[in-house]
């Protein structure tokens, strides 16, 4: 059971916090009934279970390559502590239960959850071997999380939210590829075949484009007439320094501190980055909800 829990990678579940974006920006966080918050928490739990299932299947598929990785070789499936048969059985049970809960919560949420699992399985077995499509698939996975969170509580899915989520996730995925390429050096292709299609220079060019696009998209989203009309305030522009600092801090960690291998670990372990995200969230809550008397 311990090996199974480790293989589900609970330390990575912070990625599923994107599910709460619809609750926050849909102005349902302080609903008097509390139902949207309860549903959002349940949706978060569903995606934690589903992402754990994807990790199990991915580790089964990659167990031979993982054994040659300096860190991943210690994973339960790669090390032999958890057999592939046990992992697949557990994935079927957990995944089936999570999808049943998803459809019970909201049929549309169930279909988005099923689409997420299908795409992630396709990624594990094929898409991760296709250059550029590999990182785009990872980014779309975050978009589906955001869509699922909005669908679960039946709020409008803002196009600015989806665009910013896509670009930020793409930034993180490209940074992770760069970290793997630099860390593994000559052994990179043996661990992940797609790394042979990339170079540090190419990834730096891509990261530069996505970094600029992410910041521009966020800035425009905060000052657009649509956003001002929706929230009844133009103060969201005051939150712009937070993503500026956060992205620059992340680039600093990637290039000078050999970080980027695990975005969740960097967020948890790097105090300035964690404080930046917390302050951004607090500022958004204060600005979005104050005009509505909360």
Domain ranges of the chain: 1-157, 158-294
The reported pLDDT for the residue numbered 291 is 56
- Which pair of tokens denotes residue 273? 């980055």
pLDDT at 191: 64
Fold adopted by 1-157:
Tetracycline Repressor; domain 2 (1.10.357)
**Per-residue exposure over 249-271, b if at least 16 CB sit within 10 Å of its own CB, e if not:** ebbebbbeeebbbbbeebbeebe
Per-position pLDDT tens, the chain of length 294: 888 888 888 888 888 999 999 999 999 988 889 999 999 999 999 999 999 999 888 888 777 777 776 677 777 888 778 888 888 899 999 999 999 999 999 999 999 999 999 999 898 888 888 999 999 999 999 999 999 999 999 998 889 999 999 999 999 999 988 888 887 666 666 666 788 888 889 999 999 999 999 999 999 999 999 999 988 888 999 999 999 999 999 999 888 877 666 777 787 888 999 999 999 999 999 999 885 555
HSE-up of residue 167 (Cα within 13 Å, Cβ side): 20
Residues 237/243, Cβ–Cβ less than 8 Å? no
* Whole-angstrom distance, CA of residue 107 vs CA of residue 183: 43
For residue 4, the number of C-alpha atoms closer than 13 Å in the C-beta half-sphere is 12
Range 195-199, long-range pairs (CB < 8 A, 24+ positions): 197/131, 198/131
Write down the pTM of the prediction.
0.88
Rounded Cα gap, residues 87 and 94, in angstroms = 10
Residue 294: CB atoms within 10 A of its CB come to 11
């Amino acid at each position: 059971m311990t090996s199974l829990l480790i293989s589900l990678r609970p330390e990575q579940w912070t990625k599923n916090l994107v599910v709460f974006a619809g609750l926050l920006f849909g102005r349902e966080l302080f609903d008097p009934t509390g139902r949207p918050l309860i549903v959002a928490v349940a949706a978060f739990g569903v995606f934690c279970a589903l992402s754990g299932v994807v990790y199990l299947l991915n580790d089964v598929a990659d167990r031979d390559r993982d054994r040659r990785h300096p860190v991943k070789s210690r994973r339960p499936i790669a090390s032999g502590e958890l057999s592939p048969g046990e992992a697949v059985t557990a994935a079927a049970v957990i995944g089936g239960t999570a999808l049943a809960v998803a459809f019970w919560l909201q049929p549309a949420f169930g279909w988005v959850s099923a689409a997420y699992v299908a795409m992630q399985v396709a990624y594990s077995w094929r898409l991760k071997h296709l250059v550029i499509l590999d990182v785009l698939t990872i980014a779309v996975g975050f978009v589906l999380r955001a869509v699922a969170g909005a669908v679960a509580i039946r709020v409008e899915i803002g196009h600015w939210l989806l665009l910013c989520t896509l670009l930020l996730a793409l930034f993180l995925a490209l940074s992770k590829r760069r970290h793997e390429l630099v860390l593994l050096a000559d052994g990179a292709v043996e661990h992940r075949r797609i790394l042979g299609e990339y170079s540090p220079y190419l990834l730096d060019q891509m990261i530069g484009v996505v970094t600029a696009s992410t910041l521009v998209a966020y800035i425009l989203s905060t000052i657009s007439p649509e956003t001002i009309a929706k929230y009844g305030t133009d103060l969201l522009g005051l939150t712009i320094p937070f993503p500026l600092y956060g992205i620059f801090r992340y680039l600093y960690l990637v290039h000078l501190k050999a970080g980027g291998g695990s975005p969740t670990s960097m967020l948890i372990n790097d105090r300035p980055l964690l404080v930046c995200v917390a302050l951004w969230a607090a500022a958004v809550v204060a600005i979005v909800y104050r005009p509505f008397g909360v």
